[in-house]
Amino acid sequence: MRLDRFLAHSGFGTRSEVKRLIKEGFVKVNGEEAKSPNLKIDESRDIVQVGEEIVRLQKWVYIMMNKPRGYVCSNNDPFSPTVFSLIPETLKYRNLHTVGRLDKDAEGLLIITNNGEYTHRVISPRKHIEKEYIVRLERELCEEKIKVFEDGIVLDDGYKTLPAKYTIIDDFTVSLTIHEGKYHQIKRMFESIGNKVVYLKRIRIGKLRLDENLKPGKYKVLDELEAFLVFE
């Protein structure tokens, strides 16, 4: 990997900022001052320093995003902006993907990573990881009808959902916790009891909660301890 790319991917700024660090003599490779941003390095063996700091490329990347409405969870889409357009180039090279999906018109907690095993564990219904959503409805909520969610409900394609939990917030708003992520599942669950979802926001996966300071479209990089809260 080129030295400037390695440093940019490690969070030391844009390519131009990194090149300035190298030009001004702040960067060493194996104890020797680096002379060129084009220098090829082996990131698993060479020792790169910026000042006194030894730089190591993190193998796995975990990003928390507050997904805004209007964006899709695809890497590429010819018709709609994708969540990856909100991520800087310095992170995109890591072969990132979303951990499950949120509908285009949904918002809230989205995890983006390059760790496929982590993703499989999070989205597998067998792991029974809770996903909590705030749901606003078109019609006034009927508690007698929503109680059927507690035992699982049969959707329009014959699939029976796992038992869900709910807390009524007001006449039109409910907190719903499920353990799966079937296509348009929550919308279909409410359609099955004669109601329509007009607003959907995911606020929690496992014990990992959406950071309230993250505005829609913003993100932050998680450390492993934070990312693995989803399994607690």
pLDDT of residue 93: 64
pLDDT of residue 15: 79
For residues 59 and 44, the answer to whether their CB atoms sit within 8 Å is: no
Residue entry with tokens 């507690």: 150
pLDDT of residue 16: 85
Mean pLDDT by 10 residues, the chain (232 residues): 83 82 93 93 88 84 96 91 88 83 96 95 90 98 94 94 96 96 94 97 98 96 93 91
List % helix, strand, coil for the chain (3-state, nearest 5).
25, 30, 45
Global confidence as pTM: 0.81
Three-state DSSP at 43 gives coil
DSSP structural state of residue 115? -
Phi/psi zone of residue 217: left (φ > 0), alpha (ψ -120 to 50 degrees), beta?
left
CATH 3.30.70.1560 positions along the chain are: 130-205
Class for domain 130-205, per CATH? alpha beta
Closest CA to 137 of 201, 199, 69, 70: 199
For residues 62 and 224, the answer to whether their CB atoms sit within 8 Å is: yes
Q: Burial, 128: exposed, middle or buried (Cβ in 10 Å; 0-12, 13-18, 19+)?
A: exposed
pLDDT of residue 6: 84
Distance, in Å, from the CA atom of 23 to the CA atom of 45, rounded to the nearest integer, reads: 23
CATH 3.10.290.10 positions along the chain are: 3-55
For residues 29 and 46, the answer to whether their CB atoms sit within 8 Å is: yes
Q: Is the dihedral of CA 78, 68, 220, 209 positive or negative?
A: negative
Phi, psi of 212 (to 5 degrees): -65, -15
Other CB atoms closer than 10 Å to residue 90's CB: what's the count? 18
Catalytic residue among 42, 103, 156, 170: 103
For domain 3-55, say whether CATH 1.10.1200.10 is its number.
Answer: no
Residue entry with tokens 């279909």: 188
Q: Reply yes or no on whether 103 is catalytic.
A: yes
Other CB atoms closer than 10 Å to residue 219's CB: what's the count? 19
Three-state DSSP at 184 gives coil
Distance, in Å, from the CA atom of 187 to the CA atom of 196, rounded to the nearest integer, reads: 7
